[in-house]
Structure 1
Amino acid sequence: MSRDREQRWNHNIHFHRLVTDAVPTGATSALDVGTGDGMLAGELRALVSDVTGIDVDQGVLARAEAEHPGIVWIHDDVMTRDFGRRFDVVASIATLHHLGDMRGALRRLGALTSPGGVLVVVGLARSTSVGDHAHDAFGVVQHQWFSRTRTYWEHSAPTVWPPPHSYSEVRAAATEELPGVQWKRLALWRYALTWHRPR
């Protein structure tokens, strides 16, 4: 990996480690949903031999393919694509709020996860509670610090703002659709869901 790529930072890259640290021992396959510029897929490729990135934006996929070799790139909608398989790791960074039907998307991502595998979702939502706004305030401080000490990199993927669901709505849906899911509210206007599919 080039030094320039190693030094890139933004709110999404900041949380890639939540995915890479969750890769189960013995995992051989991974799916990066809404892969965008493919940076997470590239990091997963260093850990597992079989990595697929899927996105509905052909332009960002072309850039990802040029920069990250050894990955299967698919221009399609994860909600309707027939992969014909499951994956030991399913990851989604800042994509869930793009998929419209949040509950359906959570069920779909869970169904794509192999028994014994892990699903990790890092997403954006709307702040509605005092606790949410406290996290947001800390996020402002954290953003300013990292922006001054890292090389801020603006991704080229489309954005949706504001997110259509609140943090409490996402947490409630995930708890119902993915029994046993672990929830964590993050700074930098993010949350994390980690779900291990039973064997």
Structure 2
Amino acid sequence: MPFDHNDHYHRLLLRKVPPGALTALDVGCGTGRFARRLAARGLRGDAIDACPEAVAAAGTAPAPGVTFRTADVTGVDLPTAHYDLITCLASLHHMPFGTVTALRAALAPGGTLLVLGCYPERTPADWAVSLAAVPVNAAARLAVAAADRIRGREPEPVRAPVRPPGTPLPQIRAEAAQLLPGSRVRRLLFWRYLLVYRDGAAG
């Protein structure tokens, strides 16, 4: 079924883009769908992913001002205090959570880090939210599949690799509080959380 949980939250993430943002870094860009939405908003910058097949697919669709490249963010030197916006969509669990310190350092003064993250179900609260999400998820998948059939839309032939998340949400909250002072972590419905960190917010 073609319903994509990450795509579902694109509008939410776009509402968190800071006013006046001009430069962006999309970490774990996959086939580039969110990077293209940022480009449509006038942001320019970089989109990176460790999967060369996904990056090659990303480069086949226009994204004015965005450079797609194959890179592992844990092994590259990011420019210091450069990006007005850094986004990670379902990619942070592919790397050590401490990577956020390098991302924080790459934020321009007043910049924003947005993480749409995944977490494993470990607590009663996790299971309760998952139980509520199951029927909504099934209905959304059917609706999107029907709409795609009507429009004649084909599924993407390339998808970025998927890894199960390993860090539970309480630990994510604790590490975020330590490494990203002033950040906020909010649980979302479809097995996701939203982390928002604004440079200078803790001060």
Q: TM-score, normalised by structure 2?
A: 0.87
For residues 84 and 192 of structure 1, what CA distance do their matches in structure 2 show?
24
- Unmatched tracts of structure 1, length 5 or more: 1-7
Map Cα deviations across residues 123-169 of structure 1 (whole Å, 9 max, x no partner). Answer: 111111111111111221221121111247566110012x1111111
The alignment of Structure 1 onto Structure 2 pairs a total of residues equal to 189
Range with bigger deviation, 67-76 or 90-99: 67-76
Shift of 1:68: 3.0
| Residue of structure 2 in register with 1:79 after alignment | 74
- Contact 1:44/1:51 (<8 A) preserved: no
For residues 112 and 9 of structure 1, what CA distance do their matches in structure 2 show?
32
For residues 57 and 72 of structure 2, what CA distance do their matches in structure 1 show?
18
- Unmatched tracts of structure 2, length 5 or more: 149-154
Which of the numbers 154, 158, 161 marks the counterpart of 2:161? 158
User: How many percent identity over aligned positions?
Assistant: 32
Which of the numbers 151, 165, 170 marks the counterpart of 1:168? 170
- Contact 2:26/2:48 (<8 A) preserved: yes
2:25 is the alignment partner of 1:25: no
Amino acid corresponding to residue 82 of structure 1 in structure 2: D
Amino acid corresponding to residue 101 of structure 2 in structure 1: R
Note the aligned Cα RMSD (angstroms): 1.7
Map Cα deviations across residues 89-120 of structure 1 (whole Å, 9 max, x no partner). Answer: 10000001101x21x21212212221111110
- Answer with 1 or 2: which has the greater Rg: 2
- Contact 2:31/2:54 (<8 A) preserved: yes
Q: TM-score, normalised by structure 1?
A: 0.89
For residues 12 and 137 of structure 1, what CA distance do their matches in structure 2 show?
19
Which of the numbers 99, 105, 109 marks the counterpart of 1:105? 99
